[in-house]
Structure 1
Amino acid sequence: MRSGFNYLATFLWLGSLVGGYAEQKPAIAALKLEPGERLKVDGVLEEEAWQRAAKGGGFRQYDPGRGTPATERTEFAIAYDLDHLYVAVWCYDSEPGSVMARSMVRDRMYTGSDFVYLFFDTYHDQRNGYVFAVNPTGAQSDALITNNTGTNFSWDGIWTSKATITQEGWFVEMAVPFKTLSFDPEGTVWGFNMSRRIRRKNESIRWTGWKDEIKSHNAVEAGDITGLGGMRQGLGLELSPYAVGRFGSGGSEGDSLGGDAGANIRYRVTPSFSATLSYNTDFAETEVDQRVVNFSRFPLFFPEKRDFFLEDSGIYDFGPGIRRKSRGPTLLPYFTRRIGLADGEIVPIQLASKLAGRLGDYDVGLTHARIDGASGVGEQDVFAARVTKQVFAQSRVGVIATGGNPASDLDNYVGGLDFTYRTNEFLRDKILEANFYALGNYAEAAGGGHGTDYAFGAQLSYPNDRWDGTLSYMEIGPNFNPALGYVRRKGVRTVSGLLRRKDRPGGSGWYRQLARGADFQVSSLTSGGLDSARFGVVPFNIDFASTDELFLRISHDVDRPLEGFDIGSVTVPAGHYSWTKARLEYETTSSRPVWGEFSVEAGQFYDGWRAKASAELEWNPNRHFRIKGSYQYNRVDVGGGEFDAHIGSLGVNWNFTPDLGWSSLVQYDSLSREVGFNSRIRWEYRPGSTIFLVLNQSLLAEDRGLGLERSDLTLKADATFRF
């Protein structure tokens, strides 16, 4: 084993040596405003300061014409005072009447709209940073970037922006308080990049770094902002109290009326490290989960949506973070939905605390929560800790630990370590990433004593434009059971791989990219014998010039369940099964007012067959209104039985301004015969302070119509005060 790791380390080192080539990055000087000089954030870029500021330009395409000049002129300027960073963007357009602006929804403003996307590497470490994006309606999106690959778009920073459309194009002005950012107070240079999407042309341009496989938030490709210094963050204290009132009716609980209050207190111990205390943590405004039906023998995965846990969540990223669109991750040592939720029901969190940020070359995270007992279990204390150290140019090594069991009084602990090697200079200008990780689990047994088990793995990735490949190995012990984590399956050894070739035509063709590839995944039991396997081939994945996309996948599956399991209303008995199926998908471009995604899938399924058809359609007639519907039909004949499954949803968004919106969602599936309704009004009456009015209803489809099972109405108001 030691010699194998030595060979791999030598291979990675030699590949990096072949690099040694660095492209000259651009830089722009930030203008320091004079004492008493103010900028009004209104999207009208007429202040004298913007005339004095240095202008950045020279944008080039990274899609479709890699490295070719942009077809529309774009410029930007940066200024700052003691408390704010200001950015002005001039998006000139030869057809200003064709500027597309169809969404006012925060974090969903990319759909069908032009936009600008700004990235700041505030430590100039070429690893982490912040994203701020704005479209022509003034709608915002923001994100935290971790180690150039992890993106947390659920983070909502406090900042302001305005956009205007004129006869010359559209223009953006934004102000980000330094209290919103973590940065090195001694640093005078930040990393920076900016991209612009010209939606009607399906053209994407960038200030620097024109590889399509590199994201605009990749700090290694960023240019520089120079001339910074003397910024302040105040006392670093942030207080966010809230009050909530609830009225519920129906169900076993009957009618109820009540209220509650709590607060979050955050203190910046240093400009880059903060402590947060949350009393009586509340998540009334959290969006509901998507309704799905499970057609496998493995548990479903639902992602975290609660802001308290999403903030700083990138610190806890562990290993390669393998995720599949349809099935979620295979293994997470720390999964925050284990805290405060049990079988989808809320378990009150009495007190929660977090330490998060950077201490020198170390990124540190520590989370503790005290939660009420669930299902006869007493009050529980749980914690998670994560420390990573930056090594080499883009790599890191880290440890993780969790403790506590929300579902039991029995002790449960997990400890692990991981190493991520990453370079964008492999074979001169290619990306190469390698991950190694190992975990151990200690679990107290119900009858006394305890058990221990393990999980470990490695992954090698080559995520580049022409060739894209991944090879990975993972082994999870049969008794590996992290109480604060997520494991899709235990007692297996899994080998998986992917190889994909992407071709782009020269000149202006009818398609932009043609991708073809193959993948496999083979899982065997640690006790011996094959558990499951999947082999797939993609004859074509065509990205048309319009950005419509057509995709075909043919796969052969093998499954050998040791026990019978239920799918819908039928039972699949234990046995050895293999089957072949095909899936065809077509997705239209969101540049159109009406766009959607359609797919059909058919083939064998265990000892029978399954046919599936799905459609998702969205209509954006203007910037204020959006309606989206989805429907999936499944016809299943398996295990000596058959059934139909219908899953549908309809969502409506009405946004009066970027800060005031009303959204409603109704969902239904025919197996449970349940209808879920969620309606939410959100008003951000000032940056960082919001009022929510939320209605949740659960109904049951009966022969005589819909019967109301439970209805809950919640009003919540919060405010943020910074000192």
Structure 2
Amino acid sequence: MLLLLLLACGVGPARSSDTPAMPSAVQAAAPDAGSSSADAIVAHRLQPGERIRLDGRLAHPAWQRAPAYRQFVQKSPDTGAAASRETEVRVLFDEHALYVGIDAREPQPERIRAPWVRHDQVNRTQDFVVVYVDAIGARQSAQFFRVSASGGTADGMHTAADDSEDFAPDFDFDAAAHRHAQGYSVVLRIPFASLRYAGGSAADWRMMVARRVPREQFFWDSSVLIPREASSFIATLQPLQGVELPSQHQFLALRPSLTWRASRERLADGSSPSGTGWDATLDLKWRPRAEWVIDATLNPDFSQVALDVPQLSGNERFALSFPEKRAFFFESSDLLRTPSDAIYTRSFTEPRWGLRSTWRGRRLAGSLFAVDDRGGGLVLLPGAYGTGAVRQPGSMSLAGRLSGQAAALQWGALVATRRYEGGRGRNDVLGPDLAWQIDDAWRLRAQWLRSDTTAHASPSAELRHGAARSGWQSVIRATRLTDRSEVRLDLTESSPGYRHDTGFVTQVGTRDQSLHIGRGWYPQGPVSEFWLTLDARHARERSSGVRVSQDVHPGFWLGGAHNLEWWLQWHGDSTLRTATTSPLLRQRYWKSEVTITPTEWVPFLTLGGRLGRLADTHADTVRDGHEAYLVWTTRPHARLEFEPRYSVLELRSDGQRHLREAVGQVLAVWHFNAAQTLRAIVQRTTLERSAAGGSPALRDAQTQASLTYAWRRSAGTVLYAGWSRSREGAATPTRGTEIFVKLQVDVDEARAWLGR
């Protein structure tokens, strides 16, 4: 298996939601025209023996020798205007790393918002700077590194194909911030080993530095102009000149960990099983060439991973997705992204081991991984009117994607195969995809996948081997973006036999068409952006031609001072069916969401929901109802994050409540310092449903709580200690308690520390 992975990705040229978000044109960047050399950021080599101290200060003489870059402009609210604040960037490098120094001036330094935050929680409500690095130079993907004025960090990948940021990847880098009388300064150390680049020279490298300034009006300044009308935020990354690559590209990182765990349960039958044990884990990252990275994990442990945020599900017909939080699956996640959710790594429930090989060249890139999974979750069984599920057995999986680029055309090919233990059958999926930037405004994305499946559901809700059944799915997405308009057309079609157990497919056997049209204005004053929108969606069952769902809803979106975003939609005739022979349920409701930063100690307040005539999918009827949700991010103290959230759904008729579901979570994080945190999470879910359609009344409740201490010396050396407790069921609940201690060590860091 190892040889197969290495050969598959180790060849190639050596040089080579239904909830609306901010309109795409508002997020977009500039055309793909190249930046001039006048826009270049120039790096300066450190002299032999010079060392940069990571304290956030720019006092070292080497910083004064490096050319300063100061030509910042506004991205928002007034694109192309002079920068809101003075910002200066200098870049140094040595044999091991890039050093980026940023001086962020502020005329009123007491107004800088610099709370303590967890890793990857640096957001637009804080003063921060961000560095984008495209070490391939194609402007199709870029690694980004954020640092707040308090020294908080975040990182990830920005991909041009869907113009989105993914905070899942974690790269080894160090950063520090320093507050001074004129603002604050930041120093980042980004090892070459953490950058994804092709061998040869760094002549094609590109960079951009941006700065967020949250005041009554939120400002977003960048080191290069990013017009509104473009296809991606990273389309005008400027040249990074002067960098000389290290002669040695190879590196090997070993990170063993040891976990002690004790657990105890109290089951509904009165029994109380318990146990203690030790688990050893090894994570490996090997880079034999600049373009080639191999990752492996043996017996991974995810005790420290935070609980998933609970979601309303009692009235849902289709499965809900959850974000990936496990480090092994972060690497190369951008290479696996396609127009459909073709790879969903949460489908791997409890891996025994995993192995991945990733190649990133100038013309070809690809990632292939193998996972031996113990199972224990659910296998999704998609249909036209809902998603079923059966128990997931153990499996062996191989999945990957190869991609290439030729001018404005990017192509890809995906393969995923899953073999279930005990001869229960298999699921194989493969097919091509493409992305074509037709001109400055039009972009086309498409994917076609074919599946073959012999693992079928049995009456006992388990997989059993059966006759092979094939199916297919096609996705076509055309988008036109300008500075004041946007059009998006999606066409998705699939056969009833299509299934993708390694992806996230919840509906098949339908022909689905959707259209989005938007027209924008940029007024002056408290409202800086205003969009009128019209959305339409229509889905039919392919076999019968019966309408599955249809919805046409006009609305608007606006943005303004105090980080305001507000959208409102009217769903005047939203119809759906729960089965081919079921009646067409006609819904009529308002849907809205508002997000704002009321004060510095309440950086985020989000309130939204639906109100009107809503479908009760369990009873196959329409009732008066409402759905509401609240997310309240507060900072009562600079070291304390406190975030309660609550969602509720109620359906009534004739004065009687037929359904009430509520989910709530309280998250609190105390920052002892930049490296140590204490995180507490409490969740509560309740569901009450009256008897309907021959089904008895239902009452259920779940409670979960966890407390986790973390000491994060670096991305590779971390200590965790935690406690968790759960209670499931209303009448005869099942209870469980667990405590754990986990230590992960980076071998190179440990060797350096011991050698002092």
Regarding TM over 0.5, the answer is yes
Contact 2:250 2:289 in 1 (8 A): no
Counterparts of 1:20 and 1:276, CA distance in 2:
33
Contact 1:136 1:170 in 2 (8 A): yes
Amino acid at match of 1:390: Q
Compared CA separation, residues 219 and 584, structure 1 to 2 (3 A)? closer
Aligned to 2:294: 275
Aligned to 1:519: 535
Counterparts of 1:256 and 1:121, CA distance in 2:
49
The equivalent position to 1:37 in structure 2, one of 41, 45, 50, is 50
Counterparts of 1:590 and 1:228, CA distance in 2:
44
RMSD of aligned Cα (Å): 2.5
Q: CA deviation at 1:360?
A: 5.0
Amino acid at match of 1:277: A
Contact 1:104 1:657 in 2 (8 A): no
Q: CA deviation at 1:414?
A: 0.6
The equivalent position to 1:714 in structure 2, one of 736, 740, 752, is 740
Aligned to 1:434: 444
The equivalent position to 1:335 in structure 2, one of 332, 344, 351, is 344
Counterparts of 2:34 and 2:718, CA distance in 1:
46
Aligned to 2:723: 695
Q: CA deviation at 1:413?
A: 0.6
Q: Map residues 246-325 of structure 1 onto 2, 5 A cutoff.
A: 246-252=261-267, 254-294=273-313, 295-318=315-338, 320-321=339-340
Amino acid at match of 1:242: S
Contact 2:418 2:427 in 1 (8 A): yes
**Deviation per CA, 1:130-172, whole angstroms, max 9, x where unpaired?**
1011011100011123345353211111111111111111000
Aligned to 1:613: 628
Compared CA separation, residues 249 and 372, structure 1 to 2 (3 A)? same
Q: CA deviation at 1:291?
A: 1.2
Q: CA deviation at 1:609?
A: 2.1
Contact 2:119 2:153 in 1 (8 A): yes
Counterparts of 2:275 and 2:331, CA distance in 1:
32
Aligned to 1:179: 193
Counterparts of 2:469 and 2:452, CA distance in 1:
6
Amino acid at match of 1:301: S
The equivalent position to 1:637 in structure 2, one of 639, 652, 677, is 652
Contact 1:82 1:230 in 2 (8 A): yes
Counterparts of 1:378 and 1:502, CA distance in 2:
50
Counterparts of 2:247 and 2:680, CA distance in 1:
41
Counterparts of 1:287 and 1:587, CA distance in 2:
24
Q: CA deviation at 1:464?
A: 3.6
Contact 1:186 1:229 in 2 (8 A): no
| Structure 2 SS opposite 1:176 | strand
The equivalent position to 1:168 in structure 2, one of 182, 191, 202, is 182
- Alignment pair present for 1:240 and 2:255: yes
Compared CA separation, residues 577 and 142, structure 1 to 2 (3 A)? same
Counterparts of 1:235 and 1:584, CA distance in 2:
52
- Alignment pair present for 1:77 and 2:112: no
Aligned to 2:141: 128
Compared CA separation, residues 449 and 646, structure 1 to 2 (3 A)? closer
Contact 2:546 2:580 in 1 (8 A): no
What is the count of residue pairs matched by the alignment? 667
Could you tell which deviates more after superposition, 278-287 or 145-154?
145-154
Compared CA separation, residues 590 and 248, structure 1 to 2 (3 A)? farther
Aligned to 2:26: none
| Structure 1 SS opposite 2:168 | coil
Q: CA deviation at 1:614?
A: 2.5
Amino acid at match of 1:180: S
The equivalent position to 1:417 in structure 2, one of 399, 412, 432, is 432
Contact 1:236 1:267 in 2 (8 A): yes
**Deviation per CA, 1:160-200, whole angstroms, max 9, x where unpaired?**
11111111110001111112122234223310111111111
Contact 1:83 1:233 in 2 (8 A): no
Aligned to 1:344: none
Amino acid at match of 1:169: G
- Alignment pair present for 1:404 and 2:430: no
**Deviation per CA, 1:78-129, whole angstroms, max 9, x where unpaired?**
0001111101101011111111112321111225211101101112222222
Compared CA separation, residues 316 and 637, structure 1 to 2 (3 A)? same
The equivalent position to 1:50 in structure 2, one of 38, 45, 63, is 63
Aligned to 1:576: 584
Aligned to 1:657: 673
Contact 1:157 1:688 in 2 (8 A): no
The equivalent position to 1:354 in structure 2, one of 348, 353, 356, is 356
Contact 1:127 1:218 in 2 (8 A): no
**Deviation per CA, 1:198-229, whole angstroms, max 9, x where unpaired?**
111411111102324669x8443011111111
Q: CA deviation at 1:586?
A: 2.3
- The two structures have a TM-score, normalised by structure 2, of 0.84
| Structure 2 SS opposite 1:298 | coil
Compared CA separation, residues 702 and 456, structure 1 to 2 (3 A)? closer
| Structure 2 SS opposite 1:308 | helix
**Deviation per CA, 1:446-487, whole angstroms, max 9, x where unpaired?**
464311111112110123431121001111110111222221
The equivalent position to 2:563 in structure 1, one of 547, 551, 563, is 547
Counterparts of 2:432 and 2:357, CA distance in 1:
20
- The two structures have a TM-score, normalised by structure 1, of 0.87
Contact 2:172 2:191 in 1 (8 A): yes
The equivalent position to 2:710 in structure 1, one of 682, 698, 703, is 682
**Deviation per CA, 1:505-524, whole angstroms, max 9, x where unpaired?**
1xx41211111101011110
The equivalent position to 2:501 in structure 1, one of 470, 483, 502, is 483
Q: CA deviation at 1:255?
A: 1.5
Aligned to 1:495: 513
Counterparts of 2:410 and 2:598, CA distance in 1:
37
Contact 2:250 2:290 in 1 (8 A): no
Counterparts of 2:297 and 2:229, CA distance in 1:
40
Amino acid at match of 2:246: M
Q: CA deviation at 1:493?
A: 0.5
Counterparts of 1:232 and 1:693, CA distance in 2:
41
**Deviation per CA, 1:246-299, whole angstroms, max 9, x where unpaired?**
011123462211111020122112112111221112222222111122222222
Compared CA separation, residues 377 and 155, structure 1 to 2 (3 A)? closer
Aligned to 1:567: none
Could you tell which deviates more after superposition, 148-157 or 202-211?
148-157
Compared CA separation, residues 702 and 159, structure 1 to 2 (3 A)? same
- Alignment pair present for 1:226 and 2:244: no
